[in-house]
């Protein structure tokens, strides 16, 4: 079987020129590869008490739901602004090619909940840091962040390390 990294295609100049977009939809399309990916993301946390998985929009929803099922815990989406119907709190952030706002339902997490944040890719760390901030505002305890891909040249991993956040990453790509 191909490695997880081999199942991820690269699309040059998307969404803007100069970006090498690491597209996990090709990984998701491979049943065995996707299953192995989820298993490897879950593995370090099987014996950890986790109350909720936080999935960052949008591909974090796909892996987050599968991880929550495996770990038998709740799943909470953190979405782009204007997508959640209830009362929310928001956090602005910057990513490698623009600015955005994330939000979470204000009642999605209880104080003391043990949280694992997941997403497909760690680049600058802006999205993950915004998610961390939202969880902490609601009193959740971040146990770790898990990603399929790290782009170490963009500094996100170091950014999360500086916040004291443990990370579990399946593969890395150099460059943008």
Which residues participate in catalysis according to the annotation? Answer: 59, 96
Q: Is the dihedral of CA 37, 41, 44, 50 positive or negative?
A: negative
Q: Does residue 95 contact residue 127 with C-beta atoms inside 8 Å?
A: yes
**Helix, strand, or coil (residue 127):** helix
Q: Is the dihedral of CA 139, 142, 143, 147 positive or negative?
A: positive
| DSSP per residue, 99-113 | EEEEEEETTSS-TT-
Q: How far is CA 137 from CA 5, 26, 95, 103, in A?
A: 34, 35, 21, 11
Q: Does residue 115 contact residue 104 with C-beta atoms inside 8 Å?
A: no
**Residues contacting residue 35 through CB under 8 Å, at least 6 positions apart:** none
């Amino acid at each position: 079987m191909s490695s997880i990294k081999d199942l991820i295609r690269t699309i040059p100049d998307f969404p803007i020129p100069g970006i090498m977009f690491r597209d996990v939809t090709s990984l998701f399309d491979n049943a065995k590869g996707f299953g192995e990916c989820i298993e490897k993301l879950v593995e370090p946390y099987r014996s950890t008490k986790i109350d909720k998985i936080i999935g960052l929009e949008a591909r974090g929803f796909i892996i987050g739901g599968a991880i929550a099922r495996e770990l038998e815990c709740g799943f909470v989406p953190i979405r782009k602004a204007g997508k959640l119907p209830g009362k929310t709190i928001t956090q602005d952030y910057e990513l490698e090619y623009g600015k955005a706002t994330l939000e979470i339902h204000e009642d999605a997490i209880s104080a003391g909940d043990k949280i694992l944040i997941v997403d497909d890719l760690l680049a600058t760390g802006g999205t993950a840091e915004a998610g961390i901030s939202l969880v902490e505002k609601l009193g959740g305890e971040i146990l770790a962040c898990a990603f399929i891909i790290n782009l170490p040249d963009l500094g996100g991993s170091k950014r999360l390390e500086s916040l004291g956040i443990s990370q579990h990453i399946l593969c890395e790509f150099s460059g943008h």
